[in-house]
Amino acid sequence: MMKVSKGYVRRIDKGIRKNMSDVILFDLDGTLTDSGPGIIKCVQYALNYMGKPEKDADRLRCFVGPPLHEEFMEFAGFTSEEADQAIEQYRERYSTIGIYENEVYKNIPELLSFLKQQGKTLAVASSKPGVFVEEVLRHFDLRKYFDVVVGSELDGSRTAKEDVIEEVLKRLKISKSRERVLMVGDRSYDVEGARACGLLCVGVAYGYGSKEELQNAGAVFVADTVEDLKVLAKKDEEETEKTSFYKSHPENHRKQQKARKTRGKVSWQRMIWDILSPMVVHFVCMLVISTLGVTIAGLFYDGNGQGYMEVITRFPWLSSILSAITALLVIFLLRSSYIVEKEKFHIKVKRWNPMMAAACMAASIGLGLVCTRLIDASGIRKIFERYTEIADHSYENQNWVLLVICIGILASLGEELVFRGLIYQRAKTYFDTGWAVGISAALFGIYHGNMVQFLYATGLGILFAVLYEKTGTLAAPVIAHMAINIFSIFYERMVDALIKRVRFGEPLLTVIVILLAAAGCYYLFFYQPDLSERSEKSHVG
């Protein structure tokens, strides 16, 4: 059992300890994670590029925590423009390599879980660019503990600690209740920033600042270890002595936190409606547009109306047109909701470039083909013969340009807005990421209306959600969805063309697609550019 010494507790009066139990802001570097090695190597990379190499890593410890711009100017004597250039080189390495040269301090996950179990509101206030802060937290599975995460901007704005803290207070809507808020950090910079905002600050001596530095800056308490931060949760000395830091497993803490969040803020009925409502909107739009379209088409051509299948069979292009109209209506109705959700959850692009887009397309096409082969091998199609009959002729006698525009592009965009842009993102506010992926994928499968398509669409839905989570942009699942839809449109044509030239045309196409998909998955999930060789070439002589 871990215990906090009475000496520590006595150094904090009851009024301060009461404030500690409400809102706690954590610095990142040197407080939650030991990011020093990655930061220092990236600073060395930048200094080498600028012609001022520094091999002594200890001299560069001052870069861990404070804004880079000021540190480059002070340490290397750079002008403001030179500091900006150094930061650009620093980020070149940090964004792909340095960000992962990092580790979580021992017992930090347990501490955060414990604080959340005690009903604390946690946030991160870091001078590191927000996009990097989010990536670090998600990489180490710490993001789930924080209600708000704020960092600086990549354009160089909001680097001062007090500006970051003010943004956190604004997002938490507690700017007028500062007595409830406490800052935790490892450098005098954190203490001074907190004091500038009217907050108390607890220092941590296990980071990159000394106890003397923190005390001189005005920290109300300095923790020597992560375990000492248990005091943040205590309201009185008696409770401090009684409660065990490891009272329950972190998994139980998280489940309790999720259940409390769901039950305490909204009802189950509200939660279900919040998640399902975009799908309901899509379904109603599809039902209304399909009914009106088929009815009008039947009356216009025959004057007496016809059944749905008879009209669709007679006018095969009509289903594509109706799908496109439905998608446009859904986009019109839900676009504003998506924009609000994006701002609400501060969704930021993590990694996106043309190669990522190509990899997303390859992975989607490959998984789609694998799912199709597995479904064929399972014999499920034989059970649902009516579906197979319809599916085999779904694209016959239709203009391929119309299919690409309506099914390949517009329908994909509308569905991704609904299932990943809204349903997946909303599910994440109530459940862990894994559950949110499963929920959005299952609903995507159900939406397709039959068992064969349910299995196929659910598999792809999982991939689309993972791509969204990996890249931080809805463009990833949209492009992946478009790719598999367009591939499906031309699949039979490609197979027929190959068979005329190669005896084993279809197996050959399958092998090619799977190899491309494997390459795409490798690039998406495992490949990280190595800049070390480039660095050496840049500084020869």
> Catalytic site residue 56?
no
Whole-number Å distance between alpha carbons of 518 and 499? 24
| DSSP letter string, 471-493 | HS-THHHHHHHHHHHHHHHHHHH
Answer yes or no: are the C-beta atoms of 203 and 185 closer than 8 Å: yes
Answer yes or no: are the C-beta atoms of 229 and 211 closer than 8 Å: no
| DSSP letter string, 272-335 | HHHHHHHHHHHHHHHHHHHHHHHHHHHHHHHSS---HHHHHHH-THHHHHHHHHHHHHHHHHHH
Answer yes or no: are the C-beta atoms of 355 and 440 closer than 8 Å: no
Of 198, 216, 67, 210, residue with least CA distance to 129: 67
Whole-number Å distance between alpha carbons of 251 and 71? 40
Structure tokens at 537: 């070439």
Answer yes or no: are the C-beta atoms of 115 and 122 closer than 8 Å: yes
Answer yes or no: are the C-beta atoms of 418 and 277 closer than 8 Å: no
Catalytic residue chosen out of the listed positions 13, 22, 27, 302: 27
DSSP helix/strand/coil, 359: helix
Whole-number Å distance between alpha carbons of 517 and 358? 10
The set of residues, in sequence order, having a beta carbon less than 8 Å from that of 138 and lying 6+ positions away, is: none
- Alpha carbon distances (Å) from 151 to 71, 126, 344: 17, 5, 16
Of 202, 163, 165, 162, residue with least CA distance to 182: 202
β-pair partners for 125: 150
| Matching residue, tokens 């906090």 | 4
DSSP helix/strand/coil, 414: helix
Give the chain's radius of gyration (CA, Å).
Answer: 28
DSSP code at position 104 = E
The set of residues, in sequence order, having a beta carbon less than 8 Å from that of 476 and lying 6+ positions away, is: 352, 356, 357, 360, 464, 467, 468, 470
Structure tokens at 451: 């068992």
Whole-number Å distance between alpha carbons of 389 and 392? 5
Q: Is 119 left (phi over 0), alpha (psi -120 to 50) or beta?
A: left
Catalytic sites, residue numbers: 27
